[in-house]
Amino acid sequence: LNFLMVSSDVVSGDTVLMRIAKGDGSALDTYSFTPTISVVGGGLQINSSSQSALASNVSSITVTSCTVSGSDKLLVACVTWTNPAFATTCDAVSFGGTGMTSTGAAASIDDGFVFTRSQIWTLINPATTTATVVATFSDTGNAGNVGAMSFIGAHQTVPVSTLATSTGTSVTPSVVVSGAVGDIVIDAMCANAGPTATAGAGQTEFFSAVSTAFHRGAGSTEDGAASVTMSWTLGTSQRW
């Protein structure tokens, strides 16, 4: 006996009673079973990703050919940058000319003059199109890169939870974020002086670029859970 039951009310481990009429229409036979439920399709999914080349000594960075399509869309842009002299900020990010919203930023200062920063921006239900993502900074002289990722099946009112940040100097940048099964966690990591960077177990890198003099910027995703640790291993101890 093979059958497919689709329900939003039954979960794995529930006891289900199934009553089947006999072929002659006589009394029903009753069967009790405990199903294993699998979710097929739907839910939050990654649709596409793209990244910029590393840019040096600039006041803006552009990701070309960023594609958004599907239903219940969300676009996320991870901006990382380092400035050897000024505490520059990322003042705006746009997709095809439409402004995105900052979810928050992390900033780390090395020896009082090297500023290493990362920031995540979002846009709910952007137009279905292929366009550029442009990050604009408050000053020139920045080395940085941007990773953009689009999702489908995202909540269209409150698609992101509270941003978690951390800073330090070590070979193991990490941050712990609360979530739930079915979420997707996305991170943006920026390290001074351009070390190699390897994403932690369970993470999938989706952008990374390096300038050996100033900067390493990278980002990754991981499936959600009640608590998720996003981590990287750097080739040398650096400010992040």
- Please report the pLDDT score of residue 173 as a whole number: 97
What token pair was written down for 170?
């070590």
Angstrom distance (rounded) from CA 91 to CA 142: 13
pLDDT value of residue 21: 47
Sign of the Cα pseudo-torsion (37, 39, 44, 48, in order)? positive
Categorize the per-residue pLDDT at 54 as very low, low, confident or very high, splitting at 50, 70 and 90: confident
Contact indicator for 214, 235 with CB cutoff of 8 Å: no
Residues 119-148 have a mean pLDDT of 93
Instruction: Tell me the pLDDT band of 81, cut-offs 50, 70 and 90.
Output: very high
Give the Cα separation of 139 and 129 in Å (integer). 30
Mean pLDDT taken over the chain: 84
pLDDT at 108: 85
| Helix, strand counts (H, E) of the chain | 0, 20
Torsion angle, alpha carbons of 45, 117, 194, 204, to 10: -10
> Is pLDDT above 70 for 40?
no
Q: Give the type of residue at 97.
A: G
